[in-house]
Every structure is written in C-alpha cells, then in structure tokens.
Structure 1
Amino acid sequence: MTEATSPLPERGPTGRKTKGSLSGAAARRVERPAPLRQAVYEALAELIINRTLQPGQHLVEADLAEYLGVSRQPVREALQRLQTEGWVDLRPAQGAFVHLPTDEEADQLFSVRGVLEAHSARLAAEHATAEDIERLWELHQAGVDALGDQDVERLVAANASFHAFITELSGNKVLAELIGQVDRRVRWYYTAIARPRGGEAWAQHAMLIEAITAKDAKRAEEIMSAHTEQTRQVYLNRPEND
C-alpha cells in the first residue's frame, strides 16, 4: 500500500472533525487480550462508522498502526477484511480508501431496514411490559438530551440503542439477527443526517412508544414504517457537501 502521508482528522475545540496529524490525536490503543486482528478490525470499523475516518479518505497503514498502538500486519489484515465487507476500497498502486457510499447503496439499505424495523415494532407492541416501556422512555430521553446538546455521536448512539431495544422487544431472534447485519451501515449513513433529522425523529420515537404502550401493533408498525421511510428520504435529499 502507498505510504504517503494521510493524517487522520482530529477534533477541534467545537467538537468538529478537522485535519491534523495522528501525533496530535488521543491514542485509541486496542484492548487486549481480545484477538488482536479482531480488535483492530473492530476499532477501524468503528472509526469509519462514526466518520472519524471520512468517506473517500486515504488510509495509510503506518498511521493507523501508530494510532492504534499495534504493528502494521494486523492493520493490513483488517483493511483486507474491511474491503471484503464493503467498508474500504483497495486500489492498485494507490492504497486503501474509506468506501464512498452511493445513494443507490443507501437507498437499498434503508428500504430493507424499513421492512424489518416495521415488523419489529409490531411485535414489540405485542410483547412489551411496563418495565420495557419505562426503559424506552429512558432511551428516548437520552436522545432528546443529545439533540439538545447537538452532539452527533451521542445522537447516533442513542438512535441505535432505541431501535436495538425495540428489536429486542420483538422476541424474534431471526429478525434481530437480520437487523443486526444492517445496523452498522445504518449508523454510518445516519451520522450524516443526525442533526437535521433529529427533532422530528425523536418526536416520532415518542409516538412509537405511545403506540407500543397502548399495545396497538398496527399503529406501531405504521409509525415505524413512516419513520424509516422519512429517514431514507432525508438521507437521499441531504445537501451534496454532506
């Protein structure tokens, strides 16, 4: 891979990502004793998902190895695996780059996600207990707080936690496995629209909790279907520079 300098972004005083060298960034050394190659893979995947590593960014093995506190070999192996899974593009004579997602890819993913999540909401309304409802409101408040602070990372995490808990409430292991397969990529796309989508999204989440509380399975399914469709539309209609 090409070893040209390609610094990772740092966070500025406002929390926005800025260009800078790895030497100025807080090291994210991987945890042990997890298998090293798996730990490096997970670390790099998360950096891509939360857009610390931006779509289209050139990835340099030496920089990544230093950032994670490991040798270049597990980084090389992780990049190859990430390419297989569509997170990274390996270009001959150029090196590795974070995959630049197309609108068609996003459209297909959000469409599948909508079908799965709508069914999940229906089942959640049938199975949720009073304690589950209380937990949903707690997760909702975490999202509202993150929105108030305009904290994108917390917003994305709160959104993922909220939807994951509804999937858990469905009680359908196959459904949970399928939704889990698309969750990471949904978080990747959602990061780009978390702020503009935030207010309306969390209002819809509140409506969804109310439907689940009333055990109105049909209503819960309809709200989730409309909610995920609107997220799809917001992503596809986002400003080009996002």
Structure 2
Amino acid sequence: MLSTGLPQGAVPKLERPGPLRDRVYEALLELITTRALQPGQHLVESELAGHLGVSRQPVREALQRLNTEGWVDLRPAQGAFVHEPTEAEADQLLTVRTLLEAEAARLAAANADDGILEAFEELLLRGRSAVANQDIAGAVALNSVFHAKIMELSGNAVLAELGRQVESRVRWLYTPVARTRGELSWKEHEQLVEAIADRDEERAAWLMRMHTEHTRHSYHERDRS
C-alpha cells in the first residue's frame, strides 16, 4: 500500500497515444470523483506516476489543472492534497443541481413518447441489482447514467451541457451517501420514470426536486448519528 492509499496494481497503466497529460488528468479526476483518492489525502507525484506508469511531469501538469478546477489544493512547502469540500460548497452545488434536474424532468415529461418505460427498464433493473449486491461503485455509476438520460430527454442542449458540467462533482458528493440512499433512491427513480411516461410535467418536476433534495440532506447528515 502506497501513501496515496491506492492498492498496488489497482490503477491500470496509461496507454501512450494521445496527449498524455490529458489522460493523466482524466485518470486522477476519476480516482478523486470515485473517492479512491479521499478528500484531504496527500498526493505524492512520484507515487502517482508509478501507479500510472508515467513520468512525474504529466502528473505535475495534471495536478496543476486539477488545482485550477478546485479538485486539488496545492500548499506551499507541503504539496498537493485532494480538496475537502466545505458544507457550504456542497450545499451550493446540490442546490443548483436540484434546479437543473427538476427542469430537466419537467421537459422530459413534456417530450415523452410511448417507449419511455422500455428505455429505462434495463437501467432500473441494473441499478436495483447493484444496490442489492452492495455494489456501491456500480450503483453510483448507474445513478449518473440515469440522471444524464433525464437531461438528454429534456431536449434542451444547454441544460444538458450544464448538467454534464456538474455531474462529476455531484458523483463526488453522492458517493459517501450512496449506501444510505440505496434502495430508496432507485424507488424514487422508478416513480420519476412513471411520471415522465405519464407526461405529468408538474409531478415529474416535483419528484425530481424531492429526489435531489433527499440526497442533499443525506449528504449533510452523513456523519451524524
């Protein structure tokens, strides 16, 4: 076990074709958003380079980019650390997410066709299965797919792009509460799909608002007994 907290061999070596610094950036961002690298964790360039099979230079460049985007904190004379979101930061993000996704659900209901239930059937099945099997990483990934699909069905390209911009941060914040939300979250997903299929715009928006607010409250309550 290295001080970065990643098991030896857990991260695949990066292929060389393409801009290496971009591939390193994407790999590190994935490790941060999935919390394989935890908030507050010290990031050692040489160890990350060893995990990824690259030199330290692209790792350094990726960390600088992640710092600019708020994922990593570069501290003088200390090094790089995964950013620890404050409660206020998390609340602001999850509040904006509620606004975006409630409108996306309303528009999806307005645009729904007769095949909407079939379009979600496999996704809902896989999500429930992941929760039942305690596959938290799988459930988080499928949750992101579900919400992205709602955004897509809204038919509003600008709204969908805004959704993509906040998706990785939402996944970052959702991961620590995914186990708590678990089965209930996917029941709420089912209700959302039914409202969209019924073309009930008001109910779809309300259900999405309640659904995303449940996640926001769960995040703030995650460490409280």
CA contact (8 A) 1:137 1:209 kept: no
1:7 aligns with 2:4: yes
Which residue of structure 2 lines up, in the alignment, with residue 63 of structure 1? 47
Deviations along 1:37-67, one digit per CA (max 9) or x if unpaired, are 1111000000000111111100000000010
1:179 aligns with 2:163: yes
1:223 aligns with 2:207: yes
Distance 1:200 1:192 in 2: 15
Unaligned runs of at least 5 residues, structure 2: none
Query: By how many angstroms is 1:177 displaced?
Result: 0.8
CA contact (8 A) 1:27 1:69 kept: no
Distance 2:185 2:18 in 1: 36
1:140 aligns with 2:137: no
Kindly report which structure 2 residues correspond to 1:148-159, keeping only aligned pairs within 5 A, or say none.
148-159=132-143
Query: By how many angstroms is 1:26 displaced?
Result: 3.0
SS in 2 for 1:231: helix
Give the counterpart of 1:211 among 183, 195, 198: 195
CA contact (8 A) 1:29 1:68 kept: yes
Which residue of structure 2 lines up, in the alignment, with residue 109 of structure 1? 93
Distance 1:45 1:82 in 2: 8
Unaligned runs of at least 5 residues, structure 1: 11-23
Q: Which amino acid aligns with 1:86?
A: G
TM-score, L = length of structure 1: 0.89
Question: Using a 3 Å threshold, how does the CA distance of structure 1 residues 30 and 128 change in structure 2: closer, same or farther?
Answer: farther
The sequence identity of aligned pairs, in percent, is 58
Give the counterpart of 1:191 among 175, 182, 199: 175
1:126 aligns with 2:110: yes
Which residue of structure 2 lines up, in the alignment, with residue 21 of structure 1? none
Query: By how many angstroms is 1:34 displaced?
Result: 2.4
Distance 2:151 2:216 in 1: 19
Give the counterpart of 1:98 among 82, 90, 101: 82
Q: Which amino acid aligns with 2:220?
A: L
Query: By how many angstroms is 1:161 displaced?
Result: 0.3
Which residue of structure 1 lines up, in the alignment, with residue 22 of structure 2? 38
Question: Using a 3 Å threshold, how does the CA distance of structure 1 residues 132 and 213 change in structure 2: closer, same or farther?
Answer: closer
Query: By how many angstroms is 1:128 displaced?
Result: 2.4
TM-score, L = length of structure 2: 0.96
Query: By how many angstroms is 1:135 displaced?
Result: 1.8
SS in 2 for 1:193: helix
Query: By how many angstroms is 1:240 displaced?
Result: 5.5
CA contact (8 A) 2:66 2:72 kept: yes
Distance 1:209 1:165 in 2: 11
